């Protein structure tokens, strides 16, 4: 017994340590709604803006197997960044946006891929994947019940050497190197983008929406946040650039009339301390303010009801 007991105790402690895992990426506040599995959290809001964070999950339960292929890198500080954006928007407009966060590690599920690659056939991972997308769908339905349009922003972290915000619209780097005239005259670019709906309803040229002064990138650059695409920057050949993935394809407006979607890939220098996150978040909130007034003709302090403005 004396020989067995320490080993048994050690094994029990090891098992306990593994099952406890790390803390969730977002602080446990009472103001969120957890999914049935407990791995997805939704902070509800009243602004016509939905934020999501698929890649900052810290929880790695033993009962869900590690994924066998695909990227498993965690987006450090992405949930804290999105929370800072939510706080800045609430402070500016007196109302908060929706926020949906997956707390399960990307080693177990990748909600920004299709379910086959994201969950790799595991039923528990599939459940979490479905919960995450159902919560974003519900948030978007809530927005569209209140206002005729809105923005869906999928928040990520990147480690590229280029310290700039990369905004994804499902347009490739090569698409974004085309001259303005081509982007404006060939409807194929608009149709394949995650802001298709906005592109069809506004008088602004499509190139203006994607990289003009009043594009998200242009408004961020004007506030001191380096961003691509923007009037200042296009993705040049050989440069890293994330153009967006499953989330903005599923929840942006490419395939149906719903919120227009933009993927935000944020570099470390803009997100790795509370002060930097607050400064970045304030610039985003200010940019969102002008974006809604310019393109949606909506003052976020007093959004139009859903019956108007379609
Ligand atoms: Zn990511």
Res 226 pLDDT > 80: yes
CA of 111 to the centre of ligand 1 (A): 10
Q: Residue 249 Cα, ligand 1 centroid: separation in angstroms?
A: 14
Residue 266 has pLDDT above 70, yes or no: yes
More confident position, 44 or 14: 44
- In whole numbers, what is the pLDDT of the chain averaged over residues? 90
C-alpha of residue 152 to centroid of ligand 1, in Å: 15
> How far apart are the CA of 182 and the centre of ligand 1, in A?
30
The predicted structure's pLDDT at residue 257: 86
Whole-number Å distance, alpha carbon 64 to ligand 1 midpoint, is: 20
CA of 106 to the centre of ligand 1 (A): 9
Q: What is the mean pLDDT of residues 117-123?
A: 98
Distance 181 CA to ligand 1 centre (A): 32
Q: What is the pLDDT of residue 302?
A: 83
Separation of 8 CA from ligand 1 center, angstroms?
A: 40
Q: How far is the CA of 271 from the centre of ligand 1 (A)?
A: 14
Average pLDDT over residues 9-28: 45
pLDDT band at residue 191 under the 50/70/90 scheme: very high
pLDDT value at residue 10: 37
The span from the first CA to the last CA of the chain, in angstroms, equals: 76
Give residue 81's pLDDT band: very low, low, confident or very high (50, 70, 90).
very high
CA distance 282 to 293: 17
> How would residue 307 be classed by pLDDT, with cut points 50, 70 and 90?
very low
Is residue 231 predicted with pLDDT exceeding 90?
A: yes
Query: Ligand 1 centroid vs 159 CA: distance in angstroms?
Result: 10
Q: List pLDDT tens digits, range 36-47.
A: 999 999 999 999
Band (pLDDT 50/70/90 cuts) for residue 31 is: confident
Average pLDDT estimate for 77-92? 97
Q: What is the pLDDT of residue 24?
A: 60
Domain boundaries, the chain: 20-295
What is the distance in A from the centroid of ligand 1 to the CA of 28? 22
User: What is residue 15's predicted lDDT score, i.e. its pLDDT?
Assistant: 37
Rounded to whole angstroms, the Cα distance separating 249 from 44 reads: 22
CB-CB contact of 68 with 116 (8 Å) = no
Centre of ligand 1 from the C-alpha of residue 56, in Å = 8
Is 4 a residue whose pLDDT tops 50?
Answer: no
**Is the pTM higher than 0.75?**
yes
Using the mean position of ligand 1's atoms as its centre, give its distance from the Cα of residue 295 in Å.
27
Q: CA distances (Å), 34 to each of 43, 168, 188, 238, 294, in order?
A: 9, 28, 39, 42, 35
The strand pair at 151-158 and 260-267 is best described as: parallel
How far does the centroid of ligand 1 lie from the alpha carbon of residue 156, in Å? 4
**Residue 290 CA to ligand 1 centre (angstroms):** 26
12 pLDDT above the threshold of 60? no
Pick the CATH number of 20-295 from 3.40.190, 3.40.630, 1.10.3470, 1.20.120: 3.40.630
Predicted confidence band of residue 28 (pLDDT cuts 50, 70, 90): low
Give the per-residue pLDDT at 7: 36
Centre of ligand 1 to C-alpha 54, Å, is 7
Span from the CA of 148 to the centroid of ligand 1 (angstroms): 29
């Amino acid at each position: 017994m004396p020989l067995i007991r320490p080993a048994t105790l050690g094994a029990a402690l090891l098992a306990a340590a593994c099952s406890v895992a790390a803390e969730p990426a977002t602080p446990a506040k009472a103001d969120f709604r957890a999914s049935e599995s407990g791995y997805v959290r939704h902070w509800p809001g009243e602004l016509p803006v939905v934020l999501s964070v698929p890649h900052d999950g810290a929880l790695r339960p033993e009962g869900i197997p590690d994924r066998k292929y695909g990227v498993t890198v965690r987006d450090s500080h992405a949930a804290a960044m999105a929370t800072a954006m939510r706080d800045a928007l609430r402070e500016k407009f007196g109302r908060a946006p929706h926020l949906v966060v997956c707390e399960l590690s990307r080693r177990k599920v990748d909600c920004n891929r299709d379910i086959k690659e994201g969950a790799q056939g595991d039923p528990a991972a599939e459940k979490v994947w479905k919960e995450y997308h159902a919560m974003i769908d519900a948030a978007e339905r809530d927005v569209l019940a209140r206002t005729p349009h809105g923005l869906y922003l999928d928040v990520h972290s990147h480690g590229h050497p280029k310290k700039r915000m990369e905004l994804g619209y499902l347009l490739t780097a090569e698409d974004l190197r085309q001259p303005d005239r081509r982007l404006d005259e060939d409807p194929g670019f608009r149709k394949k983008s995650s802001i298709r709906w906005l592109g069809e309803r506004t008088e602004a040229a499509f190139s203006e929406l994607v990289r003009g002064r009043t594009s998200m990138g242009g408004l961020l650059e004007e506030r001191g946040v380096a961003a691509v695409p923007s009037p200042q920057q296009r993705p040049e050949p050989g440069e890293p650039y994330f153009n967006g993935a499953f989330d903005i394809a599923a929840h942006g407006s490419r395939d149906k009339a719903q919120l227009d979607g933009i993927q935000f890939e944020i570099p470390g220098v803009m997100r790795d301390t509370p002060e930097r996150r607050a400064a970045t978040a304030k610039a985003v909130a200010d940019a969102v303010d002008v974006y809604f007034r310019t393109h949606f003709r909506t003052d976020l302090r007093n959004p139009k009801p859903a019956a108007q403005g379609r």
